[in-house]
Amino acid sequence: MSASSTGSGEPAVEATSEYDPASHYDRVTAAWQLLLGDELHYGVFDSGDELLEVATGALTARMVQAAGFAELAAARSPARVRVLDVGCGSGAPACELRTTEGVEVVGITTSGVGVDAARARATALGIDGVSFEQRDGMDNGFADAEFDVVWALESSHLMRDREALINECARVLRPGGRLVLCDLVKWRDIPFAEVRGRIADFATLREAFGDAHFESLDYYAGTATAAGLTVERTDDLTAATLPTFDRWRANAATHRDEVVGLIGIGGHEAFVRSCDILEAFWRDGTFGYGLISAVRPS
Ligand SMILES: C[S@@+](CC[C@H](N)C(=O)[O-])C[C@H]1O[C@@H](n2cnc3c(N)ncnc32)[C@H](O)[C@@H]1O
């Protein structure tokens, strides 16, 4: 992650040209499973005392509810409901959807290591009806109107062109189909002087999490609308995701030696520092977490 100024003069967290998101995830996936858990995403906490895996499951449950699987299943057999999981990680949410909702899931990620891990997970669980492919969410290569639900769980911030991602998601949705997306969001624009003053923090975040682009929930809603979708809901999950950082720091302490073996001492230290930096951004109202759902009109 690095910070620079956009053409409009507005500061933003921006990409640098040499960065390759696939290789970042190829490098970190095994360590992330120790630090973040099987589901490679934030948790939604209710009491704040929950285990991380309960809270990550709760975020997935929010996405399930927003996707409207129950009403889709009422209309036809779940086995005929097709879901595209864009940025599938190591396949845990896709396998969960297949097992609990009965829907068919195609998971895609740019990381070859992620595809291998996801396929191994499905094989170990002995489930069919879920498949994984190495494809780019910004140019997915599927035919128009192939899917009933497009599911993007915490992957959009890793894509350079979020507009291309949303356009692709809208294109492959059948009429009446739904996009559900959750991710890190920004709640305010960061003045350039502040970006410059915090350049070391942004460098640490980039080292730990890769090249990230935080957009506002309004941006996601506006881009979905421009892509021809009707926005149904936008949820602010910032407060509910805040305890995630404590759990990640605890995992970093518990699994220190294994994580250092996988991503080096520098990678471990950058991860722990990043938890502190992000938590401060969450608390001061700069960044946070949001969810959006939007339907393609019939
Ligand atoms: C934070 S992980 C989330 C994984 C998964 N959704 C989960 O919740 O367990 C982000 C995922 O997005 C994938 N990703 C990043 N850029 C991508 C792109 N352009 N197209 C598809 N997947 C991408 C990464 O490889 C990784 O699998």
What's the gap in Å between 114 CA and the centre of ligand 1? 9
pLDDT digits (tens), the chain, 298 positions: 433 323 332 333 333 445 576 788 888 889 999 999 999 999 999 999 999 999 999 999 999 999 998 888 787 777 789 999 999 999 999 999 999 999 999 999 999 999 999 999 999 999 999 999 999 999 999 999 999 999 999 999 999 999 999 999 999 999 999 999 999 999 999 999 999 999 999 999 999 998 899 999 999 999 999 999 999 999 999 999 999 999 999 999 999 999 999 999 999 999 999 999 999 999 999 999 999 999 999 9
Would you say 83 and 108 are in contact if contact means Cβ atoms under 8 Å apart?
no
Rounded-to-integer distance, Cα 153 and Cα 156, Å: 8
What's the gap in Å between 86 CA and the centre of ligand 1? 7
pLDDT (0 to 100) of residue 18:
56
Coil, strand, or helix at residue 132?
strand
Coil, strand, or helix at residue 48?
coil
- Tell me how far apart the 2 most distant CA atoms of the chain are, in Å: 55
- For ligand 1, residues with CB inside 6 Å are 21, 25, 39-41, 86-89, 92-93, 108-111, 114, 136-138, 153-155, 158-159
- Give the single-character DSSP code of 191: P
- Give the single-character DSSP code of 19: -
Phi, psi angle pair for 36, to nearest 5°: -100, -20
Rounded-to-integer distance, Cα 65 and Cα 5, Å: 37
- Give the single-character DSSP code of 127: -
Rounded-to-integer distance, Cα 11 and Cα 190, Å: 6
Active site residue 50: no
Rounded-to-integer distance, Cα 11 and Cα 191, Å: 6
Determine the atom of ligand 1 nearest the C-alpha atom of 137. Answer: 20
Phi, psi angle pair for 64, to nearest 5°: -60, -45
pLDDT (0 to 100) of residue 16:
43
The CATH number, out of the four listed (3.30.70.270, 3.40.50.150, 3.40.50.300, 3.30.1360.120), of the domain defined by the range 2-295? 3.40.50.150
Which run of H or of E encompasses 15? Answer: none
Phi, psi angle pair for 122, to nearest 5°: -60, -40
Residues 6+ apart with CB under 8 A from 143: 172
Alpha helix (H) ranges present in the chain?
21-35, 52-67, 69-75, 92-101, 112-125, 162-172, 192-197, 199-209, 217-226, 238-241, 244-254, 256-283
Residues 6+ apart with CB under 8 A from 130: 91, 94, 95, 97, 98, 104, 105, 106, 107, 122
pTM for the full predicted model: 0.91
Rounded-to-integer distance, Cα 242 and Cα 173, Å: 32
Rounded-to-integer distance, Cα 286 and Cα 228, Å: 29
pLDDT (0 to 100) of residue 72:
82
Give the residue, out of 109, 134, 214, with the most ligand 1 atoms within 8 A of its beta carbon, to mutate for a pocket test.
Answer: 109
Directed axis angle between helix 256-283 and helix 244-254, to 10°?
A: 160
pLDDT (0 to 100) of residue 26:
86
Q: Which of 7, 16, 9 is nearest to 190 (CA)?
A: 9
In the numeric block, the tokens 């740019």 are attached to 110
- Give the single-character DSSP code of 31: H
Q: Which of 23, 178, 181, 34 is nearest to 93 (CA)?
A: 181
**For ligand 1, atom 27: residue with the closest CA:** 89
What are the extents of the domains in the chain? 2-295
What's the gap in Å between 219 CA and the centre of ligand 1? 20
